[in-house]
Copies of this chain bind each other. A is one copy, B any other.
């Protein structure tokens, strides 16, 4: 498995805008399975073996990974550590992304206390709220500031991602403020769709109600099938 070929693979990511969102959505899952294999001491794996573990097909796996130049070698399979690292790079996990959380409620607490995010390179560096009782307090050593201090904080600190864990009615206004302050990436938990004129702004939504309705739909369908 030559370095040259692999470098070429990585270059293709930047040039090729045609990689479908479906493939990209599957990458974190590859990353997770490869991470598990690594921690089990597995050094290499064939697309067949990986497909069994992932409840997928070998051809799907080969196709997906071919989008990024392959990584595999016939008769050898995939080098687990290498593939894990390369997918990590594609996902931007080789860089640290500083995160702030706006809305210091239970969901924010859950995020701050879940050390996995920091291990993946997404440390929470501050939280913001409108509740003055919270100002100056800390959760998991992360300070909570007043929302009024947002502008100054963003001026003085590198903030890569803002997580929005606010009620729906405050989310749009706050998101616009964040974008006006230069924030380009929003992890949105508020149950509202955010739209911005600035096309450089990236939004990733976690709509828990939608997910629950999806489950409910599938339950209902199963019941009607019977």
Contact = CB atoms under 8 A, between A and B. Distances in A.
Q: How many copies are assembled? A: 2
Given A55-B193, A202-B219, A204-B214, 11 more contacts: A27-B217, A28-B209, A28-B210, A29-B210, A32-B210, A92-B219, A105-B110, A106-B109, A184-B219, A187-B215, A204-B218
Contacts of A111: 208
Given A14-B224, A193-B55, A224-B14, A219 B185 contact: yes
B106 A113 contact: yes
A168 B206 CA distance: 20
A191 B222 CA distance: 25
Given A107-B110, A187-B212, A91 B32 contact: no
Interface in A89-103: 90-93, 95, 97
Secondary structure call for the A interface: helix
A193 B55 CA distance: 10
A213 interface: yes
A191 B93 CA distance: 17
Interface stretch (A115-123, A127-135, A147-155): A115-123
A216 interface: yes
A13 B55 CA distance: 28
A40 interface: no
B161 A187 contact: no
Interface residues of A, number: 60
Contacts of A13: 221, 224
7 contacts: A28-B207, A55-B193, A92-B213, A93-B213, A105-B113, A109-B109, A161-B215
Nearest to A88: B213
